[in-house]
Chain A
């Protein structure tokens, strides 16, 4: 009971944060709302016994990356979002109707099924709490998951090079 209450609380926090990100007209507030979402996610990871991921989420996402976001937003001095004329009349209304239609379909799908309990994997919660999260993740990353781990490294490298390519000043 307590854990499901915890879950609903976190779910609401995460969702409200996510909606606030797009709803705030000022980018600064959006970034702050995103921190709320990330903290909610960290809480959800905690409730799933993934303490390491939760802590990393807080340290890296909610702190380091969001700090950079704030820096960037303040540095380029983004103003409030400008109101723009939409090209198609009634675009907002149509969008809302389509969104609601998808949402109601989703709701129907998820309400019509009972969730199933899957098979247990090789690292159920009991084993995890016995061995420790960090050790298992470190072990897996460098043994079975070494290819995704390396591919992820390349992906991050691509992000860095790409950002430099797009942002740097060119002498011509």
Chain B
């Protein structure tokens, strides 16, 4: 007879996830009682819930690493940081969605429910301390986002985007799972700490040298590379980002990066330090390729949304650069440096406000059947709508990394980390590509301020929805705040390292 031992479970640690699961169910039920014209109320419920859960998650900050659910779940500063940022990103995305959903006639309760489902997956990923938990979180996140991308079913572009993303994503999940299966086969465990123990234990050195294990590691990195859209795994991204509803594009470009990078760092830094030389070389090459590809391909785009999509590939490269420079080999010994990890955290935070803002500007001009997607449409906006023009300039400068914006501090910190850990080549590529990116961000500013409106040009009108206005004001202020007074945010980014490795 098998004895049943109930493990100690500290449910309070998983409060954000539990709360979110309850919130999704509540949203789905409330949706039934709200008439079709008033679906925005469902969004407001989701918004309030997400803000409260963000505060709950914030309360877990700085209490060290604690695991529960038999080691499947961990709360440390990194996971709390990611959770708070993902929930913040969600709250802002809901504000952006409220107006957009009405204009595009996709204002259904399920829109908000699917968004919250994907956030549930992200939170589980951030706290996943086991390959199984991380995989389940990743799948929950991905499946909800496939649906969100295809949510505008009346639009063939959106349907195509959803299908493409789904097929590529399903393939990527298979690749990732194969990598995890091989890891399990060699180490006999799926637990992150257990894998590390298997590598450092007896016979661990032989496992780390085994070609099949190396192959498994490559598959793991490739699987995450697909989700992060690193070149050469980025093929799906331009179409998926362009076809998706714009607030969803902004949401997935930021929140998916947060969750995936957190899980990737946890797996590579904690479980695979024994193979650090291998994954580091692999990530180095991916970073360089992604930086060059994303930024160079963005130059040729005539659609604003597509340009931002390519630029998000480039930014994934910068984030990954931070992951690479977190590790150095000193005297043949692998060491992790805090500065790289905190650079990743700060860069992602800066990217959250900046990129959501840039997509927010696109949402601002959306009206029935018109999306302002063409760069040419923005001619002369600087004179016609000075405030909106200024806001867009702030976001574009921040994306390009020009002071006094968040993007500048993020890049500065990142390059400083790269130089300090002697990754000179990577820093050089990053700098050059930063200059290249200023070409296409700068061109957008040129179009808005230096070119006169054409005769036949569509007249742009800016939406005056209060939710959208509020979100954009918050985003502009945050982007400037992070650029001018980065101190306390940098401290928070540095704090993510505590108790992680």
Q: Is the CB of A113 within 8 A of B211?
A: yes
Chain A residues with Cβ below 8 Å from B9 are 146
* Given A109-B211, A113-B211, A131-B2, also A148-B136 (CB < 8 A): yes
Chain B residues with Cβ below 8 Å from A139 are 2, 4
In the bound complex, what is the Cα–Cα distance between A147 and B18 (angstroms)?
11
* Given A151-B136, A162-B146, A165-B151, also A121-B188 (CB < 8 A): yes
* Given A148-B133, A166-B150, A172-B105, also A155-B139 (CB < 8 A): yes
Within 8 A of B (CB), among A129-158: 131, 135-136, 139, 143-148, 151-152, 154-155, 157-158
A-side interface residues, number (CB < 8 Å): 34
Q: Is the CB of A159 within 8 A of B2?
A: no
- Listed residue (B6, B133, B147, B203) with the most chain A CB atoms within 10 angstroms of its CB: B147
In the bound complex, what is the Cα–Cα distance between A119 and B153 (angstroms)?
51
Question: Is the contact region of chain A dominated by helix, strand, or loop, or is it mixed?
Answer: helix
In the bound complex, what is the Cα–Cα distance between A139 and B70 (angstroms)?
14
Q: Is the CB of A109 within 8 A of B132?
A: no
Chain B residues with Cβ below 8 Å from A164 are 110
Indicate with 1 or 0, residue by residue over A106-135, a CB within 8 angstroms of chain B CB atoms: 100110110010110100000000010001
Chain A residues with Cβ below 8 Å from B7 are 143-144
Indicate with 1 or 0, residue by residue over B125-152, a CB within 8 angstroms of chain A CB atoms: 0000010110011011001101100110
Q: Within 8 Å of chain A (Cβ to Cβ): is B114? A: yes
Chain B residues with Cβ below 8 Å from A146 are 9, 69-70
Number of A-B contacts (CB under 8 A): 99
Q: Within 8 Å of chain B (Cβ to Cβ): is A75? A: no
Indicate with 1 or 0, residue by residue over B177-207, a CB within 8 angstroms of chain A CB atoms: 0000000011110000000000000010011
Q: Within 8 Å of chain A (Cβ to Cβ): is B263? A: no
B-side interface residues, number (CB < 8 Å): 51
Q: Which residue of B is nearest A132, CB measured? A: B2
Q: Within 8 Å of chain B (Cβ to Cβ): is A76? A: no
Chain B residues with Cβ below 8 Å from A110 are 212
Q: Which residue of B is nearest A150, CB measured? A: B21
Q: Within 8 Å of chain A (Cβ to Cβ): is B61? A: no
* Given A131-B2, A136-B2, A161-B114, also A147-B73 (CB < 8 A): yes
Indicate with 1 or 0, residue by residue over B89-102, a CB within 8 angstroms of chain A CB atoms: 00000000000000
Chain B residues with Cβ below 8 Å from A152 are 136
Q: Is the CB of A155 within 8 A of B140?
A: yes
Residue from B4, B14, B114 in contact with A165 in the complex, judged by beta carbons closer than 8 Å: B114
- Nearest CB in chain B: distance from A34 CB, A: 15
- Nearest CB in chain A: distance from B151 CB, A: 7
Q: Within 8 Å of chain A (Cβ to Cβ): is B210? A: yes
Residue from B21, B36, B105, B133 in contact with A154 in the complex, judged by beta carbons closer than 8 Å: B21
Q: Is the CB of A148 within 8 A of B211?
A: no
Residue from B70, B108, B121, B137 in contact with A144 in the complex, judged by beta carbons closer than 8 Å: B70
Within 8 A of A (CB), among B61-119: 69-70, 72-73, 105, 108, 110, 113-114, 117
Q: Within 8 Å of chain A (Cβ to Cβ): is B429? A: no
In the bound complex, what is the Cα–Cα distance between A32 and B288 (angstroms)?
45
Q: Which residue of B is nearest A136, CB measured? A: B2
Q: Within 8 Å of chain A (Cβ to Cβ): is B415? A: no
- Nearest CB in chain B: distance from A25 CB, A: 19
Q: Is the CB of B120 within 8 A of A143?
A: no
Chain A residues with Cβ below 8 Å from B2 are 131, 135-136, 139
In the bound complex, what is the Cα–Cα distance between A159 and B166 (angstroms)?
13
Chain A residues with Cβ below 8 Å from B113 are 161
Within 8 A of B (CB), among A70-117: 106, 109-110, 112-113, 116
- Listed residue (A154, A166, A172) with the most chain B CB atoms within 10 angstroms of its CB: A154
Q: Is the CB of B211 within 8 A of A116?
A: no
* Given A151-B136, A158-B117, also A143-B5 (CB < 8 A): yes
Q: Within 8 Å of chain A (Cβ to Cβ): is B447? A: no
Q: Is the CB of A113 within 8 A of B212?
A: yes
Q: Is the CB of B114 within 8 A of A116?
A: no
- Nearest CB in chain A: distance from B446 CB, A: 34
Q: Is the CB of B143 within 8 A of A158?
A: yes
Q: Is the CB of B207 within 8 A of A162?
A: no
Indicate with 1 or 0, residue by residue over B212-245, a CB within 8 angstroms of chain A CB atoms: 1011000000000000000000000000000000
Q: Is the CB of A159 within 8 A of B143?
A: yes
Q: Within 8 Å of chain A (Cβ to Cβ): is B361? A: no
Chain A residues with Cβ below 8 Å from B146 are 162
Chain B residues with Cβ below 8 Å from A119 are 188
Q: Is the CB of B72 within 8 A of A145?
A: yes
Chain B residues with Cβ below 8 Å from A131 are 1-2
Q: Is the CB of A165 within 8 A of B185?
A: no
Chain A residues with Cβ below 8 Å from B124 are 151
Q: Within 8 Å of chain A (Cβ to Cβ): is B28? A: yes
In the bound complex, what is the Cα–Cα distance between A139 and B1 (angstroms)?
11
Chain A residues with Cβ below 8 Å from B212 are 109-110, 113
* Given A147-B72, A165-B114, also A158-B140 (CB < 8 A): yes
Chain A residues with Cβ below 8 Å from B185 are 118
Q: Is the CB of A165 within 8 A of B110?
A: yes
Q: Is the CB of A116 within 8 A of B206?
A: yes
Chain B residues with Cβ below 8 Å from A151 are 124, 133, 136-137, 140
Q: Is the CB of A162 within 8 A of B188?
A: no
Q: Is the CB of A143 within 8 A of B70?
A: yes
List B residues at the A interface (Cβ < 8 Å): 1-2, 4-7, 9, 14, 21, 28, 36, 69-70, 72-73, 105, 108, 110, 113-114, 117, 120-121, 124, 130, 132-133, 136-137, 139-140, 143-144, 146-147, 150-151, 153, 162, 185-188, 203, 206-207, 210-212, 214-215
**Can you list 8 pairs linking A and B with CB atoms under 8 Å apart?**
A109-B212, A116-B186, A146-B9, A148-B136, A158-B143, A165-B147, A170-B153, A172-B105
Nearest 7 interchain pairs by C-beta: A147-B69, A162-B147, A144-B70, A151-B136, A118-B188, A147-B72, A165-B110
8 other A-B residue contacts (CB within 8 Å) besides A158-B144, A162-B143: A116-B206, A118-B186, A147-B70, A148-B132, A155-B139, A162-B144, A165-B110, A165-B114
